[in-house]
Structure formats: structure tokens, C-alpha cells
């Protein structure tokens, strides 16, 4: 198998397992708990002094703010594919773009005024996410088929 074939096989396996590669554009911000001098250095835009006698450090990012890793986000938020903290199923949101899953919508729920990332009220499903999985599955199938036909 050629090096390109191996690379494509590994990349396909990563995508199928739900691991994604994130490419950040522009200058890279500092992660949660990294030493900082000012707010503009931090992904969270919040450089704070938590303990006297220590240096300032970046705080965790809130919903919709930039992140580099999962621990950069507050509470149970996840660092999503677009490098922003997002909400998982049944977590609080303010806009649909804050939901990690493209099939979820930020829906107002009964009771106190708050919104949660849930499936839409209708039975429709966002086909964009399904189409992208289908493309990756077909790509992996073709790579494996090519590999087994050659050997």
C-alpha cells in the first residue's frame, strides 16, 4: 500500500471514530490556565489573577468562545469542531449554533425561561450531517476496496 493510501486510511478511520482535525486560522490564543498578560491573549478573553502571589492565568471559555482542548471550556461544555465551546444534548444554549450536534436545535423548554440543545420538534433531521458521514463511509469503502483488490 502506498504512503498516500495509508494516510487516507488513517484519516478515514479517525473520522469514523469521531475524531476530527481542527485547523485554526489566525493567531493561536492561549489555553485555559496558561500564563497571560492581558485578555487579548486568551481564548476566553479573560486573563485573571486567582491567587495573590501568582501570575495571571487564562480562565475557561464560555459557550461560543474559542477553545483549543476540551478542558478549555466551562462546566460540561465541549470544544467543538469549529474550535468553539458548544453545548451537548440537553445542555443550556442561547442559539442553535451553540449546539455541538448539527441535528440539535436550541429549543425553548417549558418551565423557567431557558433553552436547551434538543432534536427539533418535528420529525425532520438535518441531512447535512448525515450526508457528510455518508461521504466518509463511501470514501473508506473505496480505499479498502482498492487495498484488497491490489493485494
Residue at which a domain ends, from 51, 86, 121: 86
95 and 56 part of one domain: no
Phi and psi angles of residue 35, each rounded to the nearest 5 degrees, phi first: -65, 140
Let me know: does 40 contact 28? Beta carbons within 8 Å.
no
Inform me whether the pLDDT recorded for 9 exceeds 80. Answer: no
Q: State residue 138's pLDDT score.
A: 72
Domain containing residue 39: 28-86
What's the structural domain count of the chain? 2
58 and 69 assigned to the same domain: yes
Output the pLDDT for position 128. 52
* pTM assigned to the model: 0.59
For residues 80 and 40, membership in a common domain is answered with: yes
φ/ψ of residue 145, rounded to 5: -60, -45
Taking the alpha carbons of 31, 32, 35, 41 in that order, is the dihedral positive or negative?
Answer: positive
CA angle 58, 81, 96 (to 5 degrees): 95
Residue 7 has pLDDT above 90, yes or no: no
Amino acid at each position: 500500500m502506498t504512503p498516500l493510501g495509508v494516510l487516507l486510511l488513517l484519516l478515514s478511520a479517525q473520522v469514523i471514530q469521531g475524531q476530527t482535525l481542527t485547523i485554526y486560522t489566525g493567531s493561536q490564543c492561549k489555553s485555559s490556565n496558561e500564563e497571560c498578560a492581558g485578555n487579548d491573549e486568551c481564548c476566553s478573553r479573560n486573563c485573571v489573577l486567582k491567587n495573590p502571589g501568582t501570575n495571571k492565568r487564562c480562565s475557561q471559555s464560555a459557550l461560543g468562545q474559542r477553545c483549543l482542548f476540551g478542558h478549555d471550556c466551562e462546566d460540561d461544555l465541549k470544544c467543538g469542531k469549529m474550535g468553539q465551546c458548544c453545548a451537548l444534548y440537553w445542555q443550556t444554549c442561547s442559539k442553535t449554533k451553540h449546539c455541538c450536534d448539527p441535528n440539535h436545535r436550541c429549543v425553548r423548554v417549558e418551565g423557567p425561561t431557558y433553552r436547551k440543545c434538543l432534536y427539533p420538534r418535528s420529525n425532520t433531521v438535518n441531512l447535512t450531517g448525515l450526508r457528510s458521514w455518508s461521504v466518509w463511509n463511501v470514501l473508506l469503502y473505496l480505499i479498502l476496496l482498492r487495498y484488497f483488490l491490489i493485494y
